[in-house]
Structure 1
Amino acid sequence: MKKVTSVFWITLAITLILSFWGAIAPKGFENISGTIMSYISVHFSWYYLLIVSLFVIFCLYLIFSPYGKIRLGRQRDRPEFSYPSWFAMLFSAGMGIGLVFYGVASPVSHYINTPPTADPGTREALEDSLRITFFHYGIHAWSIYAIIALILAYFTFRHGSPGLISATLEPIFGHKMKGSWGKFIDIIAVFATIVGVATTLGFGATQINGGLTYLFGIGTEFWVQLVIILIVTVLFMISAYSGLGKGIKYLSNANMALATILFLATLILGPTLYILNSFIDTLGAYIQRLPAESFRISPNNEKEQQWVRDWTVFFWAWWIAWAPFVGIFIARISKGRTIREFLSGVLIVPSVVSFLWFSAFGMSGIDAQNNGVDIAGLPDEQALFGMFDSFPFSMILSILAIMLIGTFFITSADSATFVLGMQTTNGSLSPPTTVKFVWGFAQSAIAAVLLYTGGLQALQNALISAALPFSFIMLLMVFSFFKALRKEKGEKKV
């Protein structure tokens, strides 16, 4: 523990205090977190929509600008990982559990339960269901990750700065980032990471539990989910001990293999032609309506406005809360790539893969719904298994799905322990195993507390609350990065 900084001890203390509070006073914890979330979602919805759209615009600008030729490292540096391994790792860390959890649930819900504008069950609701899902998992989500990853990789590998969020703000604030203000910035980033990852682990635990309930009748009590979290914690600790080049890399490749098997099985056993037609049609609609959807908040329609808060704002907050973790991890594995190569890869490839995934699983779920299977009536965590129940080999597919959720769970938690260790050891690219273990247990404890205090709603409350302060830091990072780029190119300082 010699390498740890005060950021480690302060953030760990905050995490332990909140965990203890949630454990002994769950109702009070749930009420306060709910109040904070409600205030933010009502008063800052416009802000979330605006900044995420600005991130997209900035990423697209960099791709087509002369800055795109700049390499994330020295000119002689080349990528450490091949394209397949790079895509597998960034995709597993960046989306993983979310795709499996919402692959069927989101499109079916937008079609039957919560359509954004149309009447439930209508053709308009059906057409909107997949397009909206594309919107929530497309380039907006990945631009959030790309911003953090790009800026960190640039300062770390090209300027030799420590891999800390605070170090990226030195072009604006100078040496203040080496003192207490810098530590404050890093504490916010670390805490946002803990909450974001813990939330996702909570979703993963509930879906594994949901699959076991649907298949074998195992109860959905908290203690079952706690056992799942404990088992997975042990497994990702073993993976963390193996290191970045072995544990995470091998698990990420295993994730992609399992995901590919499930995707192909769903594409073949499901309504294949309908899936392919829906993918092409929705891709066109997504591109066509992207600008309007990016800024849609419906101030004159309370129902639509509430929908935006419940869905779009929630997803933007989720990606922002995950951004420190995913961004730092993607930065770590992206040394040697140019800005244009990096952004093109991070924005386009995972988005298209997500679109294909949701087309296959979402349209298969809707097809099953229209043929008499009540997918919409199932809890979100069981929707995937309800859809598989309409397929041949349903038990095999469901077991493979549980295995995929588990490996995504392990990979996300493993990657997070690396990132948290890095952020609390002054940016060390090889944080001590002991530090990674401490953060592994801490994020599992937060996930358990959030499930204990309010289940999925408590997870959503925590996400939206934790994302807001870090979003301000992201805006500062963009300004600092652009200032550094202009200085490197010899242009007039901003």
Structure 2
Amino acid sequence: MGDGNTYIKEKKNDKVFYISLIIVFAIVIWGLVSLDGFRKASNGLYVFLRDTFGWMYLLSMFFFVVFVIALACSKYGKIRLGADDSQPEYSYVSWFAMLFSAGMGIGLVFWGVAEPLNHFINPPMGMAEGGTSQAANLAIKTSFFHWGFHPWANYSILALALAYFQFRKNTSGLISNIFIPILGKKGVNGPIGKCIDILAIFATVAGVATSLGLGTIQINSGLNYLFGISINTVSKITIIVIVTFLFIFTAVTGLDKGIKFLSNLNLGIAFMLMVLAFFLGPTVKIINFFINGVGLYLDNFIVDSFRIEAFGDNSWLGTWTLFYWAWWIAWAPFVGTFIARISKGRTIREFVIGVLLVPTLGSFLWFAVFGTLGINLGEEIAKEAIKVTETAFFVVMNKYPLGMTISFIAVILLCTFFVTSANSATFVLGMMSSNGDLNPSTRKKVIWGIVQSLMAIVLLLGGGLKTLQTASIAAAFPFAIIMILGCFSLLKELKKEKI
């Protein structure tokens, strides 16, 4: 069990919980009282961070990829996340289903068709003429890049550090605890540690609210497409209220019952949807697109990781790559804490393979299938589909056999992903605000469930998708620095292991 040195950290008060609630409610009230002011401030912050610190997002995410791969390949790869004789709590299928549902969820359904088509019609940074075969290649490569190693390496950083300190060093499940090697126990119990935990909670609420907003928009669009339900504020708020009840209920039932069951259900529905689309669509083209996409992704990995214009226009980069990198970083406290919670007993090498490689392959398959279905229809339909991003999936599916059936399954999948992401986040927020308690109280889970939904409603009212993007980038900026420092803290502790 390493060097036998364990850290035990206890916090008897609820300062982190109450301060976090005050900050989040202050933002919610601001959004309700002054929508225009909230929108202007969000947009101004978005432009400032994009233009001034875009390079930092690129360097941070690339560093995360290199760090986790190097760690898995090193002598530390055989260290177990727990006692040397500990075994995993969950099967590979359940483990993968839970981390995949929490880590991607709604985003895959929302962007699976829309992103490749957007790049097909408007190629990245003017690198090709829209609607051409070259544009199609750029579309799949760019989609793979945004949903490949970078986001999952980003999740792995925090998850690995948390799991190591939590299960091998016997700390509580607070993000501040991974800094004990750098700050000491007094440091993480003091103002710095509390600030880290509060920032983690804020980043989680902002990141998940972004995803809930996206999910609500697309569920509303799907219901409109299938059943004629109006797309308006009342419909969106109604969807959020109904789903809020469902995800709070499943969060309260616990990890093994509610969340595990729904995650396995998600995986089954997603797999069925993808297989159905694979055989109903241009199957050979999908296979070729996937193989070609993987080759282009690997061949351009380094160049794409560092691509930013010194003298040119970076507006595309800010709208796509920087938004994604910030979104993943904002999600890292939540997804990292959740993945750590379900990863006890696995070795570091097994953990990295499971969290980095397997979900990346799943994302590639998803985008290859649905991206090909969209691009195969040609430029005219692609332009029609991307007029409204949230309906792109349904416009494309309508052109294929059993299109209505696929769309209906997709709406169900959106709802189950919505519930799973939100209940996982509710569970994690309860942990973060309960001194890292692995089984937080029902009261705190209910409170955070309601808070998340209120935040999503305010962000939707305050400017839609663009404001949601801004909220993620703002929350992610300081946390990128915290995550980099966390890597060095973990490495410092690993060097004490007797291997």
Q: How do 1:288-437 residues align onto structure 2 when only pairs under 5 Å count?
A: 288-302=299-313, 305-370=314-379, 372=381, 374-437=383-446
| Structure 2 residue corresponding to 1:23, chosen from 23, 29, 32 | 32
| Structure 2 residue corresponding to 1:284, chosen from 295, 301, 305 | 295
| TM-score, with structure 2 as normaliser | 0.96
**Deviations 1:469-488, CA, capped at 9 Å, x for gaps:** 11111011111101101122
| Structure 1 residue corresponding to 2:241, chosen from 223, 230, 233 | 230
The secondary structure found in structure 1 opposite 2:436 is coil
| Structure 1 residue corresponding to 2:142, chosen from 116, 123, 132 | 132
* Match in the other structure for 1:143: 153
Q: How far 1:464 moved relative to its partner?
A: 0.6
Residue identity matched to 1:195: A
Q: CA RMSD in A?
A: 1.4
**Deviations 1:121-147, CA, capped at 9 Å, x for gaps:** 122211100000000000111000000
| Percent of residue pairs bearing the same amino acid type | 51
Relative to 1, partners in 2 of residues 1:396 and 1:47: Cα closer, same or farther, differing over 3 Å?
same
The secondary structure found in structure 1 opposite 2:257 is helix
Q: How do 1:60-71 residues align onto structure 2 when only pairs under 5 Å count?
A: 60-71=69-80
* Match in the other structure for 1:202: 213
**Deviations 1:179-236, CA, capped at 9 Å, x for gaps:** 2221111000110000000100000000001112222332221121111000000011
Residue identity matched to 2:172: P
CA contact (8 A) 2:426 2:445 kept: yes
Residue identity matched to 2:34: A
**Deviations 1:138-173, CA, capped at 9 Å, x for gaps:** 011100000010000000000001111111101001
* Match in the other structure for 1:475: 484
* Match in the other structure for 2:269: 258
For the pair 1:446 / 2:448, whether they are aligned, the reply is no
Relative to 1, partners in 2 of residues 1:379 and 1:372: Cα closer, same or farther, differing over 3 Å?
closer
For the residues of structure 1 that align with 2:498 and 2:299, how far apart are their CA atoms? 35
**Deviations 1:411-439, CA, capped at 9 Å, x for gaps:** 00000011000000000000001100000
* Match in the other structure for 1:177: 188
* Match in the other structure for 2:468: 459
For the pair 1:239 / 2:268, whether they are aligned, the reply is no
For the residues of structure 2 that align with 1:4 and 1:88, how far apart are their CA atoms? 35
**Aligned residues between the structures:** 487
Give structure 2 stretches of 5+ with no counterpart. Answer: 1-10
Relative to 1, partners in 2 of residues 1:44 and 1:373: Cα closer, same or farther, differing over 3 Å?
closer
For the residues of structure 2 that align with 1:3 and 1:358, how far apart are their CA atoms? 47
For the residues of structure 2 that align with 1:95 and 1:392, how far apart are their CA atoms? 27
Q: How far 1:3 moved relative to its partner?
A: 7.5
**Deviations 1:279-304, CA, capped at 9 Å, x for gaps:** 011101111110111111122322xx
Q: How far 1:17 moved relative to its partner?
A: 1.2
Residue identity matched to 1:171: P
Give structure 1 stretches of 5+ with no counterpart. Answer: none
* Match in the other structure for 2:21: 12
For the residues of structure 2 that align with 1:160 and 1:352, how far apart are their CA atoms? 33
Q: How far 1:408 moved relative to its partner?
A: 0.2
Residue identity matched to 2:401: P
For the pair 1:81 / 2:90, whether they are aligned, the reply is yes
For the residues of structure 1 that align with 2:248 and 2:155, how far apart are their CA atoms? 25
| TM-score, with structure 1 as normaliser | 0.96
For the residues of structure 2 that align with 1:377 and 1:195, how far apart are their CA atoms? 26
For the residues of structure 1 that align with 2:61 and 2:372, how far apart are their CA atoms? 28
* Match in the other structure for 1:53: 62
